[in-house]
Each structure stands twice: as structure tokens, then as C-alpha cells.
Amino acid sequence: MDEPVFPVPEHRSRLLEGMARAVAAKGYAGTTIADIVREASVSRRTFYEHFQAKSECLIALYEAASHNALKVLRAGIAPAHPWEAQVEQALAAYFAALAANPLLMRTLYIEILGLGPEGLAARRRVNGEIARFMLEVVNGAPGGGPLSPQMATAVVGGINELVLEYIERDDEERLVELVKPAAQLVRAVTGK
């Protein structure tokens, strides 16, 4: 039976969704290529047209989900407001988006760390993008800054650790509680 003809981006998107469902159900170590393609309703051949390995698919999922989270952060910005309010609004939107999909969030925050150097490199790329966004918001707003690139990276890492703590406690639905401490961290590193 031939597989329906879809544009390439749709196949890739379906594979990422299949990866998310499979890993949420079985964990990364227990997930096979067969699980991913079954969840995505595509052939094994289609998988290998897009990814060389299961780890490459997880990294692509991690990066896609992280870019969506960055879009949420950007959408949470209201440039007419003081930078402190912008930071809180963006963080509230970000934590709400994470809490809305706890299985995916848990998968990505935990499983990416198990990929070794590849996963660490993907995490660093994503964290760097978020840190650059933070620099843009804090240093670009009236009365904002100074925030150095190193301190922005430290803030992103600190927020990630707070999120991991909530994941470990199975408190993902309460992530919005992190808005105040995360915003306080940003203010502390800017000396404001």
C-alpha cells in the first residue's frame, strides 16, 4: 500500500509529533523507530528520508518545541510597558505554555539530557537563543539593563533548573508559580 503524497514539511511535522507521542508513552530509551513511524502514520523509509537516527529526530523535536516556546515569549512582550512588566508577561505566557503540555515538556527537559554531547549541544543552542531574546528585551527597553550575555545565560539556566524541580515533583501544572521568582532573578542580575 502506497503512502499518501504529502509535502515534505508535513511528513517531518508528523514524524516530530509521532516522536513526541512515542517518547511520552515509552520514554526515549524504550521508543523505537517502529513506534515513531506508527504514531506518525508514515513509512520507515519516510523516517530515514528526514532523519538518520532516533536521536536526530528527538533533537529536531526539542528544537521545534523550543522555537515555539520562544514564539510564546515574544508574543508575551508588550513594548509599551516597562521592561519589568514585559519580563513578567513573557514569563507568564511561557510557563503557561509549558504547563499546557506536561508530557511533552517532561520528555524534552529530561530526555534531551540523555543524548550526551548531541543533546547538550542542542540544549546550548536553544538556551543561547532564549538568552539573546532576554538581552534584547531587558537591554532594549527604557530603564532596562544592563544585562550581560553571561548573566542572561545564567538566568536561563536558573529558570531551567526551577522548571526541572517542578517536573521532578510532578507539579508541572503549577509552573506559573515560577513567574515571580524568575522575574526576581532577572531583576537581581540587572541590579534593579
For residue 146, what pLDDT is reported? Answer: 84
Last residue of some domain: 28, 51, 74?
A: 51
Rounded Cα gap, residues 13 and 21, in angstroms: 12
Domain that holds residue 156: 54-190
Contact criterion met (CB below 8 Å) for 46 and 12: no
For residue 2, what pLDDT is reported? Answer: 43
pLDDT in tens, 109-144: 888 888 999 999 999 999 999 999 988 888 887 777
In this structure, the answer to whether residues 63 and 46 fall within a common structural domain is no
- Per-residue confidence in pLDDT tens, the chain, 192 aa: 444 433 447 899 999 999 999 988 888 889 999 999 999 999 999 999 999 999 999 999 999 988 888 888 888 888 888 888 888 988 999 899 889 888 778 878 888 888 999 999 999 999 999 999 988 888 887 777 788 999 999 999 999 999 999 999 999 999 999 999 999 998 898 876
Q: Following DSSP, what letter does each residue of the chain receive, concatenated?
A: -PPPP--HHHHHHHHHHHHHHHHHHHHHHH--HHHHHHHHT--HHHHHHH-SSHHHHHHHHHHHHHHHHHHHHHHT--TTS-HHHHHHHHHHHHHHHHHH-HHHHHIIIIIGGGGTHHHHHHHHHHHHHHHHHHHHHHHHSTT-----HHHHHHHHHHHHHHHHHHHHTT-GGGGGGGHHHHHHHHHHHHT-
Rounded Cα gap, residues 149 and 138, in angstroms: 11
For residue 139, what pLDDT is reported? Answer: 85
- Return the number of other C-beta atoms located less than 10 Å from residue 142's C-beta: 7
For residue 74, what pLDDT is reported? Answer: 86
In this structure, the answer to whether residues 86 and 68 fall within a common structural domain is yes
Last residue of some domain: 34, 51, 68?
A: 51
In this structure, the answer to whether residues 184 and 101 fall within a common structural domain is yes
